[in-house]
Amino acid sequence: MRVTAISLLALAVSVGPVSARPPETPEYKKVEKLYSGDQSIVGETIRYPNGDPVNIRSLIVSLKPGEKTGWHKHGVPTYGYILSGDLSVDYGEKGKRVYKAGEAFMEAMDWWHNGSNETAKPVRVLVVFMGAKGHAPVIREGAPK
C-alpha cells in the first residue's frame, strides 16, 4: 500500500487536532457520596446475621493541603482506603499514623481521632461505613449525645 501526502492529510483531518493539554481535573469536592442504602444490587434487603437492618454508606473524602477532618469518632465499623496522597491521623495518646496511597485500614471506632493532610498534595480516601440503622457513622467532638 502506497502512502501519499494526500492520504496522510486526509487521516489527520479525520482524526482531528491532538491536544497536548491534560484532561480537565474534576472540581474539588471534600466528600463524594458513592453509596448509601440497605439493598444489594439485585434488590435484596441487606441484614446482619442477627436480623438488624443495615445502613451501609460509602464516600470519598478529600483533604486539600493543610486541611483537617476535625476530632471525631465512629459509631460503626469504618473501612478506609487511600486512593491518593498521604493521610496523617492523630489518635491522641495512641499515637499518630500516616496512611499512604494504596493502604487500607479499619478505622478506630470509639476513639477520638483527627485526620489531616500535612503534605503539599491533595489526599483522597474511600470511606465505607458498615453501620446499622440508628447508629451514627461519624460523631463530632462536642456534638450532642
pLDDT in tens, 49-78: 788 888 999 999 999 999 999 999 999 999
pLDDT of residue 38: 83
CA distance 125 to 32: 10
What confidence category does residue 34 fall into, taking pLDDT thresholds of 50, 70 and 90? confident
Q: Are 67 and 122 in contact (CB under 8 A)?
A: no
Name the pLDDT band for 24 (thresholds 50, 70, 90): low
Phi, psi of 94 (to 5 degrees): -85, 0
Domain spans, the chain: 25-140
E-state strands within 1-145: 31-37, 54-63, 72-73, 78-84, 86-90, 96-100, 104-107, 114-116, 123-132, 139-140
Q: Which CATH class is domain 25-140?
A: mainly beta
